[in-house]
Structure 1
Amino acid sequence: MEWRRIAARTAGRARYAAGQGLRSAWYTAQMQAARARAEGFNRPGEPAFQPSRGRPDMAELRRAYFELFLQDRANIEAGLYPEPRELRLAGLPGALKAARAFQQDVKAVDERRLARDGKALQRDIQAGGDFLQRNANRYPDYYLQNFHYQTGGWFTDESAELYDTQVEALFSGTADAMRRAALAEISRALQGRDQRRQSLLDVACGNGRFLEKVLEVWPRLNVTGLDLSPSYTEAARARLARWRQADVIQEMAEAMPVENESFDMAVSIYLFHELPPRVRPLVLSEIFRVLKPGGLFILADSLQFSDRPPLDGLLEYFPHGFHEPYYKDYLAWDLDGALTQAGFVKECGTLAFLTKVTAWRKTHL
């Protein structure tokens, strides 16, 4: 009956609001604790940040924050993906362990941030004797940095374990919700299709968190993750081990060991802002190559200048407060022009808080 549907929808919205509110509060508290331990940003001795695009409009930031969750809930009610159920007692010990490790690493991260030192990893390699020195020629120079000033860069198991907590804390518990905007595009692409006959490539899959969410929704979808980090790919393999059709490859995105026209879909989550300008078109060319004619590429990455003009000042600050050596260039990069030049045709785009998700079709040849 109609009243039952209304009651169920109302209960679902209340449950969702409570869960996401608690989740955001948890990660916001972790970031506030980290900032307190670091004694705040722009403190004496730190190079001052002089914005050229004005201070961010905090009212607009709050508006975008709430819009994210409203859209996420609308996607759930539209049947694009199920409601997240991450707040479980079974996961509490792991969450507490991750929170402690995050706080313990704050001092080292803050020291690099104050010194504007993103090259600690390269010095460790030059010091000699470890795995990285023996294998450093496998990795391009731009990759051998402490992105976000994180300990170990992309090359330690501890970094792979900490990453999810670091990102969620940075974005006040919204990272997974922002990623689900990309999940919605996958859902639309798969409607009416047999998931067992569809294949998806996650370019720069990291520790496999997004692919895990994909497979929880479509457990028979054929997925492949590709990432250059040895520690993150190992973590991704462990995370996806229960799905026999899931594969993880350790290799560069600009030189994928993948056959031509072998995937129906490709997705990239927060990769392109960490690539040098000269590498971005190489990666786009590779993605175009491995997609089947008519295949779909879903790109989720940071907002750029003018996507939400009142927040341009916030975007401008980010590479100052965190080690993002290519982010400033990315903010003004002609994303649409680059994708069009690579041969893609834009289908749609949406903003999800501080993330922009666009979907692109490989033209039939």
Structure 2
Amino acid sequence: MPAAATIAAPNSGRAVLGGGVADPVVVTPDTETFEDAVFRHSKPGLLDRQNFKQHWSVDFWKDFSVPPSISDPSTPIPSRLQAILQTLTEAARNMGVFSSSKAAAYWGYHITRSSFFALQGIAGVLAARAASSVTGAESNEVGIRMESMIRAGLTGPIAEALAMYYQDFKNIEEDVYKLPWDMTTRGHRQWSPFWIARRSAQFVTEAAATLARRNGGKPDDVWLKSHMYPDYYLNTFHYQTDGWLSERSASVYEVSTETLFLGRQDAMQRQTLVPLRAFMAGRPRDGAGTRMLEVATGTGRFATFLKDNYPRMDVTLADLSPYYLQEARKNMRYWADMRAPGQALGGADGTGVSYLQAPAEAISQPDNSYDVVVCVYLFHELPPEVRRVAAAEMARVLRPGGLLVVTDSIQLGDRERLDANLARFGDFNEPYYASYISEDFGKLFKEAGLECDTKLLASSSKVLSSRKPLQQPKPAATQADTAQPQGSHSPQTAGEECAEEICVVPAS
């Protein structure tokens, strides 16, 4: 397959927070060994260009950076603080924060959201230190400490969050998907001080326990032993309490992960809707008549955004944990009560959703059952051999012409500036992460009988879509016999139209 075309980043700048100026990358020729060259060119992020059409976000995040005046520790403190203020001003202008009341509402909500999760994260760390009798006192002056924290934030999670919100709002402006339903729903529980306090208390307690285990380097054993679960699943990923097997784990999961990503996880997950929107072109806008399966749904958080955009889509949420499926059911009931009151959408509880307890590698559904299969943040927690079986299962249950969308962590080569530290996430009791970041998913999907479609990047996440061929490939000899006459053209498939539509560079 010829290399896919690379779509340029938006005109608003290669690096939103830097006013359009990316840090220089110095390349010294003829210095790498043959082995180094082979490794570098075999990185999944680079191999993806041979297999997937590139959404504009790929180059946007590949080149994302902040001004050297902020990141260089040799720059005097007053100059760095001035650069921070200037950068924030430029970011507000480039991102169109005040371009409309809709934009102002979006940015106000999400900046408040990130600020809340930042404070909550600090509270969790302080609680962990207090529990372990570690004060964390610093000898630096208060001003230096504050400047250091701000600079670290702008070169890390704060910068990532702002740029992610820029991408998210671009999609909303272009009617790829709606504004987040929790933002626009009056009376939503997230505005209740009591609900917030309860969730925050759960997080702080969990964070203290999680960080204590991580510092000790020894995760707890899962409390439940059962032959019904595969061995790899009986692991307390992230050092979290009870792994995936308790109500406590399920109830605190969303707030824990959003705190880890400073509030941008929802925006990253919503990028899964981009290839889906293109696939749905020509189908009923409310999703009627389309069947979708989400594998490893977790708490169903992403599914609420999906249903809010396609309320009449027939959705099946699958997970191996009954506790997480129970939490997903609660979330879907709440969405329906707030957004579709009185509507009979079918499925369990009238939400248009059914629930399935099954692992990704053994989906207990017939062949060709679904138009769409999505999977968010699962593959990095699967052993390599299980990834292949899971991909084959997802392909099996897809109908011919159907769409598979996989969203997961970035890999080596997606953002090469981060490659040196990318494997460190494996330190959070992620035993299969090191193999995941080197996995060639283009090859994996092809082996499962799928055709690669489009790639997006979204901060620390990536989205890969693939299609199930309308017809199974014929043997090579038969294909040669039935080749079309020279100069003729086969009709473009819906998937190819889909890929071309979503790769269009947005207006700046």
Q: TM-score range by the shorter chain?
A: 0.7 to 0.9
- Asked whether the 8 Å contact 1:34–1:103 carries over to 2, the reply is yes
Contact 2:408 2:462 in 1 (8 A): yes
Residue number in structure 1 paired with 2:301: 209
Q: Is the CA contact 1:60–1:310 (under 8 Å) kept in the aligned structure 2?
A: no
Q: Indicate the larger mover: 59-68 or 146-155.
A: 59-68
TM-score using structure 2 length: 0.62
State whether structure 2 residue 214 is matched by structure 1 residue 108: no
- The aligned residue for residue 68 of structure 1 is 164
Q: Aligned runs of 1:1-365 on 2, under 5 Å?
A: 10-39=100-129, 59=155, 64-87=160-183, 90-91=189-190, 92=192, 93-121=194-222, 124=223, 132-133=224-225, 136-194=226-284, 195-241=287-333, 242=336, 243=345, 244=350, 245-320=352-427, 322-365=428-471
Measure the CA separation in 2 of the matches of 1:85 and 1:12: 14
Worse-matched range after superposition: 334-343 or 215-224: 334-343
Give the Cα–Cα distance (whole angstroms) in 2 for the partners of residues 299 and 359 of structure 1.
Answer: 6
Contact 2:452 / 2:466 at 8 angstroms: preserved in 1?
yes
Which amino acid is the alignment partner of residue 105 of structure 1?
Answer: E
Which residue identity does 1:256 align to in structure 2? I
User: What count of residue pairs does the alignment treat as equivalent?
Assistant: 335
Q: CA deviation at 1:316?
A: 2.0
Q: Per the alignment, in what secondary structure is the counterpart of residue 361 of structure 2?
A: helix
Deviation (angstroms), 1:335: 1.6
Q: Distance in 2 between matches of 1:25 and 1:8?
A: 19
The superposition leaves residues 287-329 of structure 1 with CA deviations (integer Å, 9 ceiling, x where unpaired) of 0000000100001000001100112234222112x11111111
Instruction: String of CA shifts for 1:18-38, please: whole Å, max 9, x gaps.
Output: 111000111111112222333
Further displaced range: 167-176 or 29-38: 29-38
Range that drifts further, 333-342 or 247-256: 333-342
- Contact in 1 for aligned 2:153/2:159 (Cα 8 Å): no
Q: Is the 8 A contact 1:64 1:352 kept in 2?
A: no
Partner of 1:196, secondary structure, is: coil
* Larger mean Cα displacement after TM superposition, 217-226 or 230-239: 230-239
In structure 1, the gaps of 5 or more residues are 1-5, 45-55, 125-131
CA deviations over 1:264-303 (Å, ceiling 9, x no partner) = 0000000000101110000000000000001000010000
Q: Is the 8 A contact 1:349 1:359 kept in 2?
A: yes
Give the number of the structure whose alpha-carbon radius of gyration is greater: 2
Distance 1:222 1:174 in 2: 28
Percent identity (aligned): 34
Aligned counterparts of 2:158 and 2:120: Cα–Cα separation in 1: 19
Structure 1 SS opposite 2:414? coil
Q: Which amino acid aligns with 1:345?
A: E
**Residue aligning to 1:129:** none
Deviations 1:229-259 (A, max 9, x none): 0100112123224453210101111111101
Counterparts of 1:267 and 1:169 in 2: how far apart (Å)? Answer: 24
Q: What CA distance in whole angstroms lies between the structure 1 residues aligned with 2:421 and 2:164?
A: 17
Using the alignment, how far apart are the partners of 2:382 and 2:291 within structure 1? 25
Question: Equivalents in 2 of 1:8, 1:171: separation in Å?
Answer: 25
The root-mean-square deviation of aligned C-alpha atoms, in Å, is 2.4
Q: CA deviation at 1:185?
A: 2.0
Q: For the Cα contact (< 8 Å) 2:164–2:267, is it kept in 1? A: yes
Displacement of 1:65 in angstroms is 3.5
Q: What secondary structure sits across from 2:407 in the alignment?
A: strand
**Rounded Cα–Cα distance in structure 1 between residues aligned with 2:254 and 2:156:** 26
Bigger fraction of residues in helix = 1
User: Once the 2 structures are TM-superposed, how far is the Cα of residue 64 of structure 1 from its aligned partner?
Assistant: 4.3
Amino acid aligned to 2:404: F
Letter in 2 for 1:158: R
Q: 1:111 to 1:59 in 2, by over 3 A?
A: closer
Q: Which amino acid aligns with 2:432?
A: Y
Counterpart AA for 2:171: N
